[in-house]
Amino acid sequence: MEHTDRRDTEPESAPAGDPTAEPAAADGDQPGPGPRRTRLRRVRRITLAVLFILLVPLLTAETALRVNYMGDPADGTHTRDRDAIWLGHAWVDGRKDDADLAAFARRVKATGIRDLYVHTGPMEHDGTLPEALYPRARWLIDAVHREMPGVRVQAFLGDVLATESPDGMRLEKAATRAAVVDSARQVLDVGYDGVHLDLEPLHSGDRNYLSLLDDVRAVTRERDAQLSVAAHQIDPLPGFHSFWGTVAGHPKWWSQKFFGQVARRVDQIAVMSYDTMQPLESLYGGYVAQQTSLALEATPPTTHLLMGLPFYHENRFGHWAHAETVAAAVRGVRLGLSRTDADRERFGVAAYIDFAATEQDWTSYREGWVR
């Protein structure tokens, strides 16, 4: 409904004696606002127009996400026994022991978890990996293979990239990429069942990253080991990463094409489908449903696709704990799977991260996804 402001139709009269009052119109002049009032009115109209241009697409997109969360998931959209979980560094630096492993084994028994991404880095900015970071890695690998038959242990290797700040790993350097490949060999020599790379912030279209994946996969194939990656979210709208990079200086998303290029180079790709900026549980669930569909479309059936679950609780601009719940994520995953490829075999969810998880997180995972 259009709202009319009286100030737009009736000029205000100034109090008598007010030194800021407009001078009275001379005989024959048309009464009206002075230059200052005209400028203020123009600024107000421009501001309202800009807000309208920004808010209408946003409200339209959020409404679409809410609609995307509606409906019922298809029967059978539950675990394929191909799920994963990210584990903290305490498992390899000496803080965890046999009792901790036994308790964890009981926790994941009868769930779909078959891959553990164990934080073994971080790598140095030059791509090397200090051996002193993981003195208990061999113990963990042997204990998992003994206590949790069929579960793989992958070395989670990450670092910050120098894509948005002067400090970090530079993948454009061939020597750095070669060092990362050597780090992959290093952890496989220890006995890990695979290498899990998490390099952020990684901009869409990075050819150096694709080259790195080709080189690391040659090593993992030689060892009959897994290569998995943590992947950025996919553009919710075409080209959105370019727009957001211009506005915020942080592209955040990948194009669907680039996501597919990465997915074809790895054995497993795990979407970090959290930190979405969504303020409501229904909007977050709708967003996860959309991301699941986009990822399924881009991922070949020979690659194992996993959608991330937020097993942590923070409140900041990018992540609201009351909205980004495991229950909403699981329902979103099931809806996206139902609508896009309900029978996809190489599919699962990946929980981030063990040390921040609550009993409610585990319950929501088991009741919503494992059943």
pLDDT in tens, 298-348: 999 999 999 999 999 999 989 999 999 999 999 999 999 999 999 999 999
**pLDDT, mean of residues 129-148:** 98
Cis amide leading into 130 (omega within 30):
no
pLDDT tens for 86-104 read 999 999 999 999 999 999 9
Question: Amino acid identity of 94?
Answer: G
Q: What is the pTM of this model?
A: 0.83
Mean pLDDT estimate for the chain: 89
Residue whose structure tokens are 């996969």: 217
Give the separation between CA 225 and CA 215, rounded to whole angstroms: 14
307 vs 342: CA distance, rounded Å: 14
Yes or no: say if 227 and 189 are a contact pair by the CB < 8 Å rule.
no
Residue 370 is classified by DSSP as I
> What span, in angstroms and rounded, lies between the C-alpha atoms of 67 and 53?
22
> What does the pLDDT look like over 12-67, one tens digit per residue?
433 444 444 444 444 444 555 577 777 777 777 777 666 555 555 555 667 777 68
The per-residue b/e assignment along 145-171, b for 16 or more CB within 10 angstroms, e otherwise, is eeebeebbbbbbbbbbbbbeeeebbbb
**Residue 219 has which token pair?**
């090593």
> What token pair was written down for 82?
């191909």
Looking at residue 46, its pLDDT comes to 78
Tell me: pLDDT of 257 over 80: yes
Q: Tell me the two tokens of residue 328.
A: 């909403």
- Contacts of residue 356, defined as CB under 8 A and 6 or more positions apart, other chains included, come to 311, 312, 313
